[in-house]
Amino acid sequence: MTYIITSACKDLLDGSCVDVCPVDCIYSKKGDNQLFINPEECIDCAACEPVCPVNAIYPEEEVSEKETASIDLNKKYDYDNSEPGLNT
């Protein structure tokens, strides 16, 4: 299981989740309009979920049907060419 950042994060980029992540698995790069959780690095600790001010973070199996595109966005994001943290 991994956590997914859904579309509620778009254009918000609060960064509270980045501050509490113990493994720095939340990424962004200049020009991004939301943050992304690297599924290969996420340890499923759930620290990010309660601090999100717009409730945009869910365990993958709890992502609503209307947000399933967010699962693909998080899995296909170019983590190799971005950095952990709020870098937009």
Any domain includes 34: yes
Please check whether residue 27 is in contact with residue 84, taking contact to mean a CB–CB distance below 8 angstroms: yes
- What pLDDT, in 10s, does the model give residues 52-85? 999 999 999 999 999 999 999 999 999 999 999 9
Domain count of the fold of the chain = 1
Q: Where are the alpha helices (DSSP H) in the chain?
A: 16-20, 68-76
pTM above 0.85, yes or no: yes
Any domain includes 22: yes
CA dist., res. 46 & res. 21, Å (int):
9
At 18, which helix (H) or strand (E)? helix 16-20
CATH assignment at residue 60 = 3.30.70.20
Helix (H, G, I), strand (E, B) or coil at 3: strand
Any domain includes 58: yes
- Write the CA distances from 2 to 16, 20, 30, 40, 46, integer angstroms: 18, 16, 24, 8, 9
Give the range of the structural domain holding residue 23, as residue numbers without chain letter: 3-83
Any domain includes 88: no
Any domain includes 30: yes
